[in-house]
């Protein structure tokens, strides 16, 4: 079936709009389970769709200025808006970058979050006071310039382990649990069903990686400022950052692959970071005050 992610995401959007009166609009409280804004709600629905199909989710803390990049990194296509508001498939996001987004539910319906009961971006009462903070509406013209499309996203291909390419293994050490079972890509070999290494809320004190290829390597950065490559370090200091590089064993027959990974940190502003690719952007992590508690690692085509 085509457009699985878009169809599922559109179903979640409709549910939030029509069946969840506790979901209201508040831009400053947008990460609260019962408050949202336009970009957070779109990303939330797409995140739920990806996870429903056993795939890595995406960063739901994005905004209209970077949500196209976030969705593209998760596998969506970003298209220039062609001027036709009636030819959007379910799950497509119609975006004015930096301003607003709506999600297409059908050719004649859009869903999304707009404003609170006072016409403001914040300060109203929790929940939907008017029935029009988060709601289904008819398509309308605006200064749209981008479209987020999941139509050509291949759920099976994204989930599958690349043929003839060894999938990396990785595991983490916490003080509460010791060494946790190895992860192979996004699969826990210990059978927990988790798609990440770690335990939510428990600092990671060490990590190991395997099957990164002959020239592959990993670096661990700790809160005390120490760094180690392909080795453990001072396990009295929590891990605050990682860099992972994958060296494709037989690129002539398989094409090149690179490590795709991200980390979740704790601290003053806990959350998932963006997806990182090999050592292209300095690795995953926030700062020395934000220890990691969860990590995901897979492969993607270069």
Q: How confident is the model over 139-198, as pLDDT tens digits?
A: 999 999 999 999 988 787 665 556 568 889 999 999 999 999 999 988 888 988 888 999
Q: Tell whether 126 is covered by a domain.
A: yes
Same-domain pairing of 137 and 207? no
> Residue 117: how many CB atoms within 10 A of its CB?
17
How many domains is the chain partitioned into structurally?
Answer: 2
Identify the H or E element spanning 12.
helix 4-19
Query: Residues 251-257: what's their mean pLDDT?
Result: 85
pLDDT of residue 183: 93
Mean pLDDT of the chain: 87
Residue 207: pLDDT band with limits 50, 70, 90: very high
Res 108: pLDDT: 93
Question: Which has more pLDDT, 10 or 128?
Answer: 10
Assigned domain for 157 exists: no
| Distance from C-alpha of 104 to C-alpha of 110, rounded to nearest angstrom | 4
Do 229 and 263 lie in a common domain?
yes
Place of tokens 């934000």: 290
Same domain, 107 and 206: no
Measured in whole angstroms, the distance separating CA 139 from the mean position of its chain's CA atoms is: 27
Residues 179 and 132 occupy one common structural domain:
no
Sign of CA dihedral 27, 296, 53, 302: positive
181 and 297 belong to one structural domain? yes
Q: How much is the pLDDT for 157?
A: 64
Answer yes or no: is 161 within a domain.
no
Structural domain of residue 56, as residue ranges? Answer: 1-149
Q: Which tokens belong to 184?
A: 């192979």
Q: Which residues of 68-98 are buried (b: 16+ CB within 10 A; e: fewer)?
A: bebbebbbbeeeebeeebeebbbbbbbbbbe
């Amino acid at each position: 079936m085509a457009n699985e992610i878009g169809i599922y995401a559109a179903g979640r959007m409709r549910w939030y709009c029509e069946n969840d009166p506790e979901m209201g609009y508040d831009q400053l409280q947008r990460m609260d389970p019962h408050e949202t804004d336009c970009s957070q709600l779109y990303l939330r629905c797409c995140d739920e769709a990806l996870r429903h199909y056993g795939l890595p989710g995406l960063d739901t803390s994005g905004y209209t200025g970077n949500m196209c990049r976030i969705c593209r990194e998760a596998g969506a296509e970003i298209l220039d808006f062609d001027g036709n508001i009636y030819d959007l498939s379910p799950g497509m996001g119609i975006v004015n970058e930096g301003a607003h987004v709506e999600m297409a539910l059908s050719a004649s319906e859009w869903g999304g979050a707009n404003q609170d009961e006072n016409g403001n971006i914040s300060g109203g009462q929790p929940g939907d006071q008017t029935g029009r903070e988060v709601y289904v509406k008819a398509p309308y013209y605006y200064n749209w310039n981008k479209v987020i499309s999941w139509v050509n996203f291949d759920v099976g291909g994204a989930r599958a382990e690349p043929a003839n390419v060894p999938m990396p293994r990785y595991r983490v050490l916490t003080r509460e649990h010791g060494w946790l079972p190895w992860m192979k890509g996004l699969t826990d070999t210990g059978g927990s069903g988790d798609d990440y290494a770690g335990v939510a809320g428990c600092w990671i004190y060490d990590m190991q990686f395997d099957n990164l290829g002959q020239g592959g390597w990993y670096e661990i950065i700790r809160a005390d400022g120490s760094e180690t490559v392909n080795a453990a370090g001072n396990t009295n200091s929590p891990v605050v950052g990682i860099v992972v590089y994958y060296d494709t064993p037989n690129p002539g027959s398989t094409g090149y692959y690179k490590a795709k990974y991200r980390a979740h940190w704790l601290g003053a502003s806990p959350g998932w970071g963006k997806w990182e690719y090999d050592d292209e952007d300095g690795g995953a992590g926030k700062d020395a005050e934000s220890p990691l508690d969860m990590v995901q690692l897979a492969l993607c085509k270069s």
